[in-house]
């Protein structure tokens, strides 16, 4: 696919950045969202230099619904027809027991991973219905399949992403619009550094003695599902490192 408009939330790093690169490399236009203006501007510059793409940036925290509304309302005419919405912005905070963690971490995860994804869906999907064209790709997780110790709230948010993806697919089944839930396992990005509140050593330990997935691996799958023929809806894809069998089963040799 090329010459389509792709909106990616949380595009300044990790899986979001890799998805931006892949879709730009294939000749699509991008709307890049992120909080970090410097990183988003640098990515725009790099991609516009390397590929046949043009990029519009929308800088805001996805939890700021007013900013999201304003950004979508004010899209330049040549970026208004969004063909693919990639709801990627999301995070895990902490590995505490459910009864010992802190409410502010819980709220940040719920607001980002669930409420902001819903807000973007509300803002973008009606335009897709009007044009009878579009694809929503939600970045879920293997964590949404089954809870694991120390991850209950994160797992709950990703279970919600699964439910929201399934429900949206049902609500759109009489339209050509497709919905995909991508569910990665271990992907080496800044995910674990954020989860461990900046403790690099603990973060590195998550990917110790295993070759984890990269953002690029997930981007290849995102591009594959988006470019499948129009009658093919890939509803879910779970992507694991070869030596990972479940969220908790990781073979480290
Ligand atoms: C991230 C995957 O296994 O750390 O969504 O929960 S895991």
**What is the number of other CB atoms lying within 10 angstroms of the CB of residue 228?**
15
Task: Find out whether 22 and 47 touch, Cβ atoms under 8 Å.
Answer: no
pLDDT tens digits, the chain, 253 residues: what are they?
889 999 999 999 999 999 999 999 999 999 999 999 999 999 999 999 999 999 999 999 999 999 999 999 999 999 999 999 999 999 999 999 999 999 999 999 999 999 999 999 999 999 999 999 999 999 999 999 999 999 999 999 999 999 999 999 999 999 999 999 999 999 999 999 999 999 999 999 999 999 999 999 999 999 999 999 999 999 999 999 999 999 999 999 8
**Which residues lie with the beta carbon below 6 Å from any ligand 1 atom?**
141-143, 151, 185-186, 247
Strand residue runs (E) in the chain:
5-8, 29-34, 55-59, 82-87, 135-139, 178-184, 236-239
With the C-alpha atoms ordered 16, 65, 226, 212, is the resulting torsion angle positive or negative?
positive
Give the residue whose CA is nearest to atom 5 of ligand 1. 141
Give the residue whose CA is nearest to atom 4 of ligand 1. 186
pTM: 0.97
Secondary structure tally for the chain: helices H, strands E: 9, 7
Spatial separation of the C-alpha atoms in residues 218 and 180, rounded to whole Å: 13
| Nearest atom within ligand 1 for CA of residue 148 | 6
Strand residue runs (E) in 97-243:
135-139, 178-184, 236-239
Ligand 1 center to 186 CA (angstroms)? 6
Ligand 1 center to 92 CA (angstroms)? 8
| Nearest atom within ligand 1 for CA of residue 151 | 6
Ligand 1 center to 128 CA (angstroms)? 30
How does DSSP classify residue 244? B
Ligand 1 center to 224 CA (angstroms)? 22
**Tell me, what's the pLDDT at 124?**
98
| Nearest atom within ligand 1 for CA of residue 143 | 6
**Domain residue ranges in the chain:** 5-239
Task: Find out whether 147 and 158 touch, Cβ atoms under 8 Å.
Answer: no
**Tell me, what's the pLDDT at 157?**
98
User: Which CATH class name applies to 5-239?
Assistant: alpha beta
**Tell me, what's the pLDDT at 184?**
98
- Residues tagged active-site: 154, 158
């Amino acid at each position: 696919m090329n010459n389509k408009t792709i909106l990616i939330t949380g595009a300044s790093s990790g899986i979001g950045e890799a998805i931006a690169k892949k879709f730009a490399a294939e000749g699509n236009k991008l709307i890049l969202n992120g909080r970090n203006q410097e990183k988003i501007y640098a990515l725009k510059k790099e991609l516009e230099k390397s590929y046949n793409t043009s990029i519009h940036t929308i800088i805001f925290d996805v939890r700021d619904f007013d900013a999201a509304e304003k950004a979508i309302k004010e899209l330049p005419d040549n970026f208004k027809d969004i063909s693919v919405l990639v709801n990627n912005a999301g995070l895990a905070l902490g590995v505490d027991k459910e009864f010992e963690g802190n409410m502010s971490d819980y709220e940040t995860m719920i607001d980002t991973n669930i409420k902001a994804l819903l807000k973007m869906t509300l803002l973008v999907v009606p335009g897709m219905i009007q044009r009878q064209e579009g694809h929503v790709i939600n970045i879920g997780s293997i964590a949404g399949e089954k809870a694991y110790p120390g991850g209950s709230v994160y797992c709950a948010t990703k279970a919600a992403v699964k439910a929201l993806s399934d429900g949206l697919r049902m609500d759109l089944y009489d339209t050509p619009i497709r919905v995909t839930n991508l569910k990665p396992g271990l992907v080496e990005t800044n995910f674990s550094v954020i989860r461990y509140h900046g403790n690099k050593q603990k973060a590195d330990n998550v990917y110790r003695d295993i070759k984890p997935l990269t953002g690029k691996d997930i981007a290849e799958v995102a591009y594959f599902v988006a470019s499948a023929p129009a009658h093919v809806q890939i509803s879910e894809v779970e992507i694991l490192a070869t030596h990972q069998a479940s969220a908790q089963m990781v073979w480290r040799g």
